[in-house]
Amino acid sequence: TVPPRVGVAIGDQVLDLQLAAAQCPWAEEVYPLLEPLAAGDLAAFMALGRPAWQLLRAALSAALAEDSDQGPFLELCLHPQAGLAMLMPCTVRDYTDFYIGIHHATAIGQMLRPTHPLLPNYKWLPIGYHGRASSVGLGGPLRRPRGQIRLAADAPPVYTPTRRLDYEMELGLWVGVGNPAGEPVDMAEAEDRIFGVTLLNDWSARDLQSWEYQPLGPFLSKSFATSVSPWLVSLDALAPFRRPLQRPEGDPAPLAYLDSPANRAHGSFGITLEVWLQTARMRAARLPAVRLSQADMAEAAYWTPAQLLAHHSSNGCPLATGDLFGTGTLSGPGPGQGGSLMELSRGGREPLQLPGGEQRCFLEDGDTVALRAYCEAPGAVRIGLGAVAGTVIGA
Ligand code: MN
């Protein structure tokens, strides 16, 4: 087996950083930055901090520019992406899933509490729960989980495969630099701790969830699998797609530890997220995948990445390199913008019609769910965040 390599995606190719460190001439200060990457250790590079990330990003951009002297060397360091097996970016140290999609929280809340869908804390702090790091992977086959389900309101629960398997369309934020216990990170520094962004599918078993979630939040309804995309996109690469943090008129201003002028001006990101579904029957009939969900992070998210990191550390909780935050389901406000089947099928009451005549309220065995995301802005080169896909297999 070949030892793991770290690479940079360039179109449909990958720049192999082990080869690039060995075969291409670099400025003196670039070698120490390439060293952990050439050794296949992305986490060690993440721990170096944002000045190092920015320096290497600038060095790579210059080396890959059209008239660069390094171009002929780098040509020899490219592999076609199609021939490579992807690995996790790094070990997930710990995993927290937030709930910052306000249209998602409102839609789910409306099913439970029609008169007051959002709880009083929602607009004051980013809600989250502690997820399970060991279940985070790159997708692939997903075994339908079993668990305790109550089939009728007055019946005892049974242990059985979930009947309400769902996806959640989220982004993953990867911590590059942590903080010592007892030392909260200020808003001014919060973004400097975030190395990059991936796609994240928080697979959910809604029938397990509704029975188990009170009073301490989701547990086994979430911890069987969470899928992320393999490519990390840095916040610096996302700079052309920054957006102001938008709050409706009359909403409370964030407390000082969650606020900064920079965060208000450009702390959010315009990232379009999509979920695509292809059932086994569609695959057999050669019908392409159908898009179920589409939403934009800047419109969906009530809190920014910086606020998530500042809040998470605000009690002194130590964060560390390789910590992963899920944003929570990023649903838009309109029809077709729900980031989960729970929303799109209105709690399982209104089935979706699929090409080929099938219907879905929740996922069935053989269904393939793929998340994609991209950023577009006038005058900026379009960025893709890659994809993450999983296929449900029977319990
Ligand atoms: Mn979630």
pLDDT for position 3? 84
Ligand 1: centre distance to CA 21 (Å) = 39
C-alpha torsion 165→170→174→178, nearest 10: -90
Ligand 1: centre distance to CA 130 (Å) = 11
Residue 80 has pLDDT above 80, yes or no: yes
Ligand 1: centre distance to CA 142 (Å) = 17
Ligand 1: centre distance to CA 339 (Å) = 10
Ligand 1: centre distance to CA 39 (Å) = 33
- Considering just the CA atoms, what is the radius of gyration of the chain in Å? 22
Residue 246 has pLDDT above 90, yes or no: no
Q: How many CB atoms lie within 10 A of CB 114?
A: 8
In this structure, what DSSP letter does residue 193 have? G
Helices of type H across 65-204: 71-75, 102-112, 187-190
pLDDT tens digit sequence for 218-241: 999 999 999 999 999 999 999 999
Ligand 1: centre distance to CA 220 (Å) = 13
pLDDT tens digit sequence for 187-196: 999 999 999 9
The Cα 338–Cα 106 span in angstroms is 11
The Cα 37–Cα 58 span in angstroms is 16
Give me 388's structure tokens. Answer: 């993450």
Ligand 1: centre distance to CA 16 (Å) = 33
pLDDT tens digit sequence for 133-182: 999 999 999 999 999 999 998 999 999 999 999 999 999 999 999 999 99
Active-site residue identified among 103, 104, 311, 312: 104
Inter-axis angle of helices 31-38 and 50-64, to 10 degrees? 90
Whether 235 and 255 have beta carbons less than 8 Å apart is answered as: no
pLDDT tens digit sequence for 9-45: 999 999 999 999 999 999 999 999 999 999 999 999 9
**Active-site residue flag, 79:** no
Give me the mean pLDDT over the 331-348 stretch.
96
pLDDT for position 33? 98
Distances (CA, A) of 188 to 27, 37, 192, 258: 31, 28, 8, 10
